[in-house]
Amino acid sequence: MFFMLAFSIAGLAQGNGFYNFKVKTLDGGEFNFSTLKGKKVMIVNTASKCGFTPQYKDLEDLYKEYSDELVIVGFPANNFANQEPGTNAQIRKFCTDNYSVTFPMMAKISVKGSDMAPVYKWLTEKKENGVMDSEVKWNFQKYLISEDGKLVDVVYSKDRPNCDRILAWLNSK
């Protein structure tokens, strides 16, 4: 019994905590999630050719309005109906030219299936995040992370980034 408990505690100490992730940006640099400590974080999977693509504007507006306490991290993904076929350079150009995106955008990844990116395994599996299981159902699904790196909620695509639920979370202390 003691050995199992000690092993579990050691596993938690090493763990796959939110702040342990390092990912590539659209521009090829490294983005370390440890830089997000103390901020609320919204992770969103994006696509350039989706009916929800205009949410980029809402995301950018929210990012600017709440810049002191919120970081939005976009992950382009081509998992749904081939709606993000572009290269990282094409995605960067699209986001800049059409929506003036300034929030951090990561390199294109997979958000479901056998090639799911590790950060999305953490977001969608209770055994990883300690809170809940979920499934990425479509583009522009939003995951809300607290200032201490805990998964708080999942907000589905149909709910815009400035919906009452997200604003209530942002304004809670």
Query: Which residues does the annotation mark as catalytic?
Result: 50
Measured CA to CA in angstroms, residue 145 lies from 29, 73, 165 at distances of: 23, 11, 14
Task: Describe the crossing of helices 88-99 and 55-65 by its angle, rounded to 10 degrees.
Answer: 70
Phi, psi (deg, nearest 5) at residue 111: -110, 5
8-12, long-range: CB < 8 A, 24+ apart: none
